[in-house]
Amino acid sequence: MKAMILRSLADLSKEKEPLQFSIVPDPVPGPREVLLRISACGVCHTELDEIEGRTPPPHLPVIPGHQVVGVVAARGERVTEYKRGDRLGVAWIFSSCGTCSYCRDGNENLCSEFRATGRDVHGGYAEYMVVPADSAFPIPDQFSDAEAAPLLCAGAIGYRSLKLSGIGDGQHLGLTGFGASAHLVLKMARHRFPATQVHVFARSRSEQEFAMELGATWAGGTEEIPDVLLDSIIDTTPVWKPVVEALKNLKPGGRLVINAIRKEELDKAYLLKLDYTEHLWMEKEIKSVANVSRSDVREFLELAAEIPIKPECQEYSLKDANIALLELKNRKIRGAKVLMI
């Protein structure tokens, strides 16, 4: 099969083609796995972190990609819930131990043996992949393959973030950073909480304008101050500055949810500006988001079909994966980027 493979870590500011186009053997499903013939795979900022070594894969080479849509081409002998031709999606969650207290409670995203698609195992920048049947999700008919792919990470993690924010209808929600995940959170919030006003903090004018097009109440720069304090803010950036700035805009008792797999070391000095009275006093909370659970993916796909949420997408061929990644790094973004396999 054709695949884009990461064979060594690379600095994308210097290396323009970190992934190599390769021909590799087709994978074979195990007893409880399905083999998917991939049609689309979303491109995520997490792939930049993997390639550049901030969240490195545990072994190389590896095929990236964790927003995968495809159809069942084959199945293991113990798979009964899916048949050949079924259209399924694969998200960040590939597997977990299944026996620990977190897994038993449906919080397998916190399992110490959590394995991530496209980082710990081969992912979707390829023509085929295998996945445990428990971690494959039916795709609603409302969505094309390209529309469905970003829902599996940007959408699902955004859904978890919105749940963790505790926002209620009629309250004030903030979104800091406005990429693939945040623009879907905005659409979810407007559907589930029609009286809630959404305030967007983004460093580029184009992102601010895009937010207003999608129904934001207010949009401004990272350091700008809206005319009201906010009940909850969701941060989707890889840097520290928006965290500190967001805390200033929270009401007493407000909550900041950090939807990021890691934060940059380069601007860590910005934390020195953290002032207890200004930023944390009055029982403000900070909560991180760790991965997604299977129920997050299932519930979000149902919600996305109900609304329906149709992501803004830019399409690329598999061979152009490096181009899509470089554009993502250089913030040439409007919605989500999707490889059409």
Residue boundaries of the structural domains of the chain: 2-139+311-340, 156-288
Closest CA to 103 of 116, 113, 118: 113
User: What tokens were used for 236?
Assistant: 């989707």
pLDDT at 222 over 70: yes
Average pLDDT over residues 131-140: 98
Place of tokens 């460093």: 203
Q: Phi/psi at 62 (nearest 5 deg)?
A: -145, 150
How far apart CA 194 and CA 189 sit, in angstroms, is: 7
Average pLDDT over residues 75-103: 97
pLDDT at 189 over 80: yes
Give the mean pLDDT of the chain.
94
Give the 3-state secondary structure of residue 155. helix
Q: Do 315 and 340 contact (CB within 8 A), yes or no?
A: yes
Ranges of H-type helices in the chain: 45-51, 101-104, 145-150, 156-165, 180-192, 205-213, 241-248, 294-306, 321-329
pLDDT of 48: 94
Closest CA to 123 of 318, 258, 332, 330: 318
How far apart CA 133 and CA 94 sit, in angstroms, is: 10
pLDDT of 213: 93
pLDDT of 265: 77
pLDDT at 335 over 80: no
User: What tokens were used for 137?
Assistant: 């999700």
Reported as half-sphere exposure (CB side, CA atoms, 13 A), residue 27 has a value of: 25
Residue-wise pLDDT for 4-54, tens only, equals 999 999 999 899 999 999 999 999 999 999 999 999 999 998 999 999 998
DSSP-assigned letter for residue 95? E
Average pLDDT over residues 133-148: 96
pLDDT of 180: 75
Give the 3-state secondary structure of residue 202. coil
The CATH number given to 2-139+311-340 is 3.90.180.10
Residue-wise pLDDT for 238-273, tens only, equals 889 999 999 999 999 999 999 988 887 778 888 888
Average pLDDT over residues 274-301: 93
Superfamily of domain 156-288: NAD(P)-binding Rossmann-like Domain (3.40.50.720)
| DSSP bridge partners of 199 | 174, 218
pLDDT at 333 over 70: no
pLDDT of 95: 97
Question: What does 25-91 look like in DSSP terms, one character per residue?
Answer: PPP---TTEEEEEEEEEEE-HHHHHHHTTSS--SSSSB----SEEEEEEEE-TT--S--TT-EEEE-
Average pLDDT over residues 163-178: 96
Which amino acid, residue 66? H
156-288 shares the fold of 2-139+311-340: no
Residues whose CB falls within 8 Å of the CB of residue 52, separated by 6 or more in sequence, listed in order: 9, 10, 11, 12
Closest CA to 176 of 202, 209, 155: 202
CB atoms within 10 A of CB 40: 24
pLDDT of 334: 65
Residue-wise pLDDT for 92-122, tens only, equals 999 999 999 999 999 999 999 999 999 999 9
Q: Do 115 and 174 contact (CB within 8 A), yes or no?
A: no
How far apart CA 294 and CA 316 sit, in angstroms, is: 28
Reported as half-sphere exposure (CB side, CA atoms, 13 A), residue 36 has a value of: 31
How far apart CA 7 and CA 268 sit, in angstroms, is: 30
Place of tokens 């970003």: 150
pLDDT of 269: 82
Q: Phi/psi at 12 (nearest 5 deg)?
A: -70, -10
Average pLDDT over residues 82-89: 98
